[in-house]
Amino acid sequence: MPPIPAGVLAPDKWGALCNSDMTVWAGPWGVSFAANITPDNLTDIGARTEDAFIAAMRTGKHLGAGRDILPPMPWINYALFHDSDLKAIFAYLKSPKPIANQASEPIPPPGK
């Protein structure tokens, strides 16, 4: 990869890089990894409640109360959805076959 020119990713500018399958993203927030969004009870949304999902979409907090939801998840785009729409999304996410796949924890930027 070529070097990024000075000033392109300055503190007042936003930028990100991702791997070829778009499952790892790096930017000013550090490094984030794609979550397992199948309904597996141990590694993602299977054990989550509809209320926790809706809270996460409204607040931008992981599990509705934890750390910030990181890019590239555009949670802010869902924050003003009607409850009925968020409930439909949650039902859809619960519908496929569960796949056990533990995502890596986010890596904060240096110094954070």
Span between the terminal Cα atoms of the chain, in Å: 26
* pLDDT > 70 fraction of the chain, expressed in percent and rounded: 87
pLDDT at 109: 87
Higher per-residue confidence, 50 vs 10 = 50
Assess whether the previous peptide bond of 72 is cis (omega < 30° from 0).
yes
* The pLDDT value given to residue 9: 64
Extract the tokens encoding 79.
């924050």
What pLDDT shows up at residue 17?
Answer: 83
Tell me, what's the pLDDT at 10?
A: 62
More confidently predicted of 44 and 81: 81
For residue 52, what pLDDT is reported?
Answer: 92
SS3 31: strand
Which token pair is 45? 């949304």
Beta pairing, strands 24-27 & 17-18 = antiparallel
Query: Which ranges of 8-93 would DSSP assign to H, the alpha helix?
Result: 50-59, 83-93
Please give the pLDDT value at position 50.
95
Q: Read off the pLDDT of each residue in 4-17 and give the average, rounded to a whole number.
A: 68
Nearest alpha carbon to residue 73 among 111, 109, 103, 94: 103
The per-residue pLDDT for range 44-74, each reduced to its tens digit, is: 888 899 999 999 999 999 876 788 999 889 9
The structural domains of the chain, with segments of one domain joined by +, span: 35-93
Q: What are phi and psi of 10, to 5 degrees?
A: -65, 165
